[in-house]
Amino acid sequence: MSRAAKPGDAQFYARTGPHNVSTLAQLIGAVLAGPDKSITGVAPLQSAGPGDVSFLDNRRYADLLEATKAGAVIIHPDFQARVPAGCTAIMTPEPYLGWAKISAHFHPPSQSRATIHQSSIVDGSAKIDPSIEIGAGTVIGARVEIGAGSVIGPLVVIEDGVVIGKNCRIHAHVTISHAILGNQVVIYPGARIGQDGFGFAITKTGFVPVPQLGRVMIGDGAEIGANTTIDRGSAQDTVIGPGVHIDNLVQIAHNVNIGSHTVIVAQVGISGSTTIGPQVMIGGQAGLVGHLNIGQGARIGAQSGVMADVAAGDHVMGTPAQSSKAFFREVAILRKLVRVWRTVLNSEPKIED
């Protein structure tokens, strides 16, 4: 069955509005150029209609701006001259940020319905704010605390003693143990939080498990992606700082400490007791050995193998990881060597039988 290409299908997403363009501009602190009008939704440049607001953040798509049928468009002031007649320009130095805020204004996160499904199991000692929502088949253990406005999805298991703050979203099939979550934390489906860390004492006859006696501490506004796993600490806590965004399928080992507003892309693995500063960016499939220090604002490229500390602000790539400048210099040298080898090979005289 075919459906319109516009985002925000009412079958899946809540919608507010209509909203005046002047209201949207005020929301993001933008300047208007063009008439005020009523807007009913958001859409990409190529599919937007007169009732939609769209955006341009990449000059590669400026041709789409000139052809758009959108009623309003969020742009950098440099593109005002390319806005078609009849389309109101919402001008801001950060169009993509403006798009994010306006999209969320039209399609806010779903609110708690203040219901507890009859198939859920809630221990009598749990402190559950009456405003929260608990989905079908969910299990809430003893002494659990859940703050106002939180939504706990279906088939979630929250084990004894866990604390969850206000306005959190815990999606389906999540398990949480030995953890304390701040406010507005989002955990996506299938994530595993607080299980034993991978710690053993090695003997001549085998491995002896080391008790994992720490917790997982997750700061306000953090987001944990689907099927990500975060082990609890051994003798100290595993810490996920405020505003950290972790993608799907990430493994975080025991005692890792991640600073605020760090971004970790899918399939990253971080070994135990590594400390990561604030505002770090780690590309997909990167691997970090244990007991490292990654400085504030560092950048780690995709598929990097990080085996040594990374200083604040450094950008590293490759395996073993090195500075991005050195990495690209070596790639360039290898390409030149290949060209030379091909030239020599083609210039050698051929021997006839």
pLDDT of residue 63: 93
Q: pLDDT digits over 26-45, tens only?
A: 999 999 999 999 999 999 99
Cα distance between residue 306 and residue 321, in whole Å = 5
pLDDT, mean over the chain: 94
pLDDT of residue 350: 62
Kindly report, as residue ranges, where domains of CATH 2.160.10.10 are found in the chain. Answer: 174-324
What is the SS3 assignment for 45? coil
pLDDT of residue 334: 87
pLDDT of residue 5: 58
Cα distance between residue 105 and residue 300, in whole Å = 33
254 carries an active-site annotation? yes
CATH code of the domain occupying 174-324: 2.160.10.10
pLDDT of residue 283: 97
CA distances, 302 to each of 40, 144, 266, 329, 342 (Å): 39, 38, 10, 17, 30
Q: Which residue stretches of the chain have pLDDT < 70?
A: 1-5, 348-353
Q: pLDDT digits over 194-224, tens only?
A: 999 998 899 999 999 999 999 999 999 999 9
Which residue among the candidates 19, 254, 291, 315 is catalytic per the annotation?
254
pTM: predicted TM-score of the whole model, two decimal places:
0.89
pLDDT of residue 352: 61
CATH topology of domain 19-106: 3.40.1390
pLDDT of residue 264: 98
pLDDT of residue 349: 66
Kindly report, as residue ranges, where domains of CATH 3.40.1390.10 are found in the chain. Answer: 19-106
pLDDT of residue 2: 44
